[in-house]
Amino acid sequence: MKDGDIYRWRYNEETLKRLNDGNNNGMTYWCMSNIGVWDEIAGKLYDIFWTNDRKWFSAEDIMAGLDLTFVANVNDLEAVSGKHVFNSFDKSDYVDISHANMSKSGFYIKKGAKPSIEKKRRVIQAHIDHHEYKVKSHTADAARLRKDLENVTEVSFVPYDPDVFIE
């Protein structure tokens, strides 16, 4: 392990049994992101859920109780402003370590990565497909509402859309 190595971690089966996982009111991974960064000087893997008062694991703890999956080294990455940036890069060129306690950051691109024209094409096509689906869906909704309008009574359902309001 090198300083700055990022891992996704989870307890191994033996540790889960010891922690009574499944019968401990969901406390097994309470306030943990299951993403850790190795600190070479401290000789510990720190879970990144908290910035202070952090959950950590020594090398011995890791060997005895965790399963690790290497993600990247933070020194090989550059932070980007948001997940939307990933729309320009291949999956192999970005890292997302955002989590419930860090939802607006934790987005990285590998240093030197170049935008992918093919990925941009796929993203644009996905947006076209999305909007075409919405057109069909809205067209069907409008047709149904036209029928409702023709048959309106005192007990008829009246739709509510926060974007459509009449005083």
Does 15 share its domain with 89? yes
Kindly state whether residues 81 and 105 are assigned to the same domain. Answer: yes
- Say whether both 51 and 129 belong to one domain: no
Considering the domain architecture, whether residues 21 and 35 belong to the same structural domain is answered as yes
Residues 68 and 142 in one domain: no
- The 10s digit of each residue's pLDDT in 81-135 is 999 999 999 999 999 999 999 999 999 999 999 999 999 999 999 999 999 999 9
Give the three-state DSSP class for 23: coil
Residue 93 and residue 63 share a domain: yes
**pLDDT computed for residue 37 by the predictor:** 96
Q: Are residues 106 and 128 in the same domain?
A: no
Domain interval for residue 133: 116-152
Together in a domain, 65 and 129: no
DSSP string across 86-118:
GGGS-GGGEEE--BTTBSS--EEEETT----HH
- pLDDT for 20 beyond 90: no
pLDDT single digits (tens) 37-92: 999 999 999 999 987 777 999 999 999 999 999 999 999 999 999 999 999 999 99
Which of these, 80, 122, 117, 114, lies nearest to 97 by C-alpha position?
80
How many domains does the structure of the chain reveal? 2
